[in-house]
Amino acid sequence: MAKMSKSQVVAAMAEKSGLSKKDAGMYLENLAKLAETEVKKAGEFVLPGFGKLVKMHRKERMGRNPATGQPVKIAAKTVVKFRLAKAMKDAVL
């Protein structure tokens, strides 16, 4: 089974909710913008029943260049991770 494209997701959401494709597309865009804003501001965004986006800080660490085997210092950075909700895991798995 192939993954759904954005337009397929919008069409499916429009069909299930009774919204127009345009409204369903705007809803998804606004949800993504809200998630971005909340992760920047509060460090996490929860979508009940689905999961949450969490901003995390990774420490500086040592890695290896796979081509040469030389040790390389990897700088500290901030990343965003997605944690799937238990209800979603149980439903899918």
70-89 pLDDT, tens per residue?
Answer: 999 999 999 999 999 999 99
6-43 pLDDT, tens per residue?
Answer: 999 999 999 999 999 999 999 999 999 999 999 999 99
- What is the C-alpha separation between 44 and 52, in angstroms, rounded? 7
Domains of the chain, by residue range, sit at 1-41, 43-93
Indicate the angle between helix axes 21-42 and 6-17, nearest 10 degrees. Answer: 110
Specify burial of residue 56 (Cβ count, 10 A radius: 0-12, 13-18, 19+).
exposed
| Domain 43-93, CATH number (from 1.20.1050.10, 4.10.520.10, 3.30.1550.10, 1.20.1260.10) | 4.10.520.10
